Amino acid sequence: MKRKLEISERIFKVISYTFLCLFALACLYPFLYAVSASISGAHAVDYCEVVLFPKDIQFDAFARMFNDNMFWNSYSNTLFLTFYGTVWALFVAILGAYALSKKRLLFRRAFNFFLVFTMLFSAGLVPQYLNYLATKDVFNSVGITDDKWLVVIAMGMAAMNIILLRNAFEGVPSEIEEAAIVDGATEFQVLRKVYIPMCKSTIATVTLFFALSRWNGYFWARQMISNSNEHPLQVFIRLRLEEYTDPEQMAGWNEIFSSDSVIYALIVCSIVPILIIYPFIQKYFAKGVNAGGVKE
């Protein structure tokens, strides 16, 4: 038997469907527009004749970008930073979180406070900048002249992610660990064979947080990497945006595609990898956000 919907209920339903669909479309629209504008002709983009669907389709903006060595360079730099940055961050975070999850660790409260305090108080941009300059000198003096490694090692370690991992490790029943120790497993084996397999989904969540923050990182990469050949994609996009929206630079521009199309094409290229894996990973992010809400 189906209960007849009341009038107020029905109105509420209609409102929620309409509102949500509009909001979802509004979230999607800028991306659709970017795709359309990146493949539309110069006149159509410059005079905003493109609203949703592309007009005078051309792929020259993409072709120009693909012919640009700097673009591929920045893409490979981003891949480098994302890969090594995520591996390094995971290495540090998993080991640290495992040790912190052990009740028998001496000075456990002090170590936890050491971690949490960085979430409460940050030194700020300028002291951090000065500190990076100083560590850059140290890195140079031991022979690491590649700024990328400094960015990989120094950046993107979030205390929140370590706490997420620590809470997951604390949830593993101690009997399993004891059984492994009785069987003669060392600390590292217990971590590798028991804890990591049992907390797979949290580790996946944290990996994605780290990888996304690396892929999207901009400010420190721009501050710290002096060689423009080593700039990651985000910095490349921003520099192009600054260049192409500068009227003086654009005076001599005379092409079949608009300068805007190049920016849009860049944006499309930078978000395509995320869009491809997004459907598979978004459930982990939802998990992370719910697990991150409440502590201890």
Partner 1 sequence: MATKAADFLIYDAAANVYRENPEQIVRDDVEKHAWKHVMLTILKDWRLYVMLVPMLLVFLFWRYLPMYELLGCFKVPDEVKPVAEQYFSGFSYFKSLLVGAEAVDFWRALRNTFLLSFYGLCFGFPMPIILALFFNEIRSNIVRSTCQVLTYLPKFMSTVVMTSLVTMLVKQGALTSGYGIVSQALEALGIISHEAAYNGLLNNPDFFRVIYQVSGVWEGAGYDSIVYFAAIIAISPTSYEAAQIDGAGKMSQMRYVVLPGILSTVVIMLITRIGALLNIGYEKVLLLYNTNTYVTADVVSTFAQRKGIVGGQKGLASAAEMMNNVISMLLVISANTIARKASDTSLY
Window 102-161: residues binding partner 1 (CB under 8 A): 102, 104-106, 111, 114-116, 118-132, 134-135, 153-155, 157, 159
Q: Work out how close the CB of 218 gets to partner 1 at its nearest, in angstroms, rounded to a whole number.
A: 5
Window of 22-30, 62-70, 168-176, 197-205 that interacts with partner 1 by CB under 8 A? 22-30
Using alpha carbons only, what angle is made at residue 222 by residues 217 and 224, rounded to the nearest 5 degrees?
105
The residue with tokens 């990888």 is 211
Q: Work out how close the CB of 181 gets to partner 1 at its nearest, in angstroms, rounded to a whole number.
A: 12
- Answer yes or no whether residue 51 interacts with partner 1 by CB under 8 A: yes
Which residues from 60-89 bind partner 1, rule CB under 8 A? none
Closest of 45, 31, 74, 32 to residue 255, by C-alpha? 45
Report the residue from 35, 39, 50, 262 that binds partner 1 according to the rule CB under 8 A: 50
CA torsion angle for 187, 189, 191, 192 (degrees, to 10)?
A: 160
Which residues from 222-251 bind partner 1, rule CB under 8 A? 223, 234-235, 237-238, 241, 245, 247, 250
Which tokens hold the place of 169? Answer: 């490790």
What is the C-alpha to C-alpha distance for residues 56 and 64, in angstroms, rounded to an integer?
A: 17
Which residues from 193-212 bind partner 1, rule CB under 8 A? 212
- Answer yes or no whether residue 263 interacts with partner 1 by CB under 8 A: yes
- Answer yes or no whether residue 38 interacts with partner 1 by CB under 8 A: no
What is the C-alpha to C-alpha distance for residues 244 and 265, in angstroms, rounded to an integer?
A: 13
- Answer yes or no whether residue 1 interacts with partner 1 by CB under 8 A: no
C-beta of residue 84 within 8 angstroms of C-beta of residue 151: no
- Answer yes or no whether residue 183 interacts with partner 1 by CB under 8 A: no
Q: Work out how close the CB of 66 gets to partner 1 at its nearest, in angstroms, rounded to a whole number.
A: 19
What is the C-alpha to C-alpha distance for residues 108 and 142, in angstroms, rounded to an integer?
A: 33
Window of 65-73, 101-109, 171-179, 197-205 that interacts with partner 1 by CB under 8 A? 101-109
Q: Work out how close the CB of 6 gets to partner 1 at its nearest, in angstroms, rounded to a whole number.
A: 6
Closest of 70, 90, 93, 89 to residue 236, by C-alpha? 70
- Answer yes or no whether residue 179 interacts with partner 1 by CB under 8 A: no
Using alpha carbons only, what angle is made at residue 48 by residues 47 and 49, rounded to the nearest 5 degrees?
95
What is the C-alpha to C-alpha distance for residues 219 and 235, in angstroms, rounded to an integer?
A: 8
Q: Work out how close the CB of 238 gets to partner 1 at its nearest, in angstroms, rounded to a whole number.
A: 5
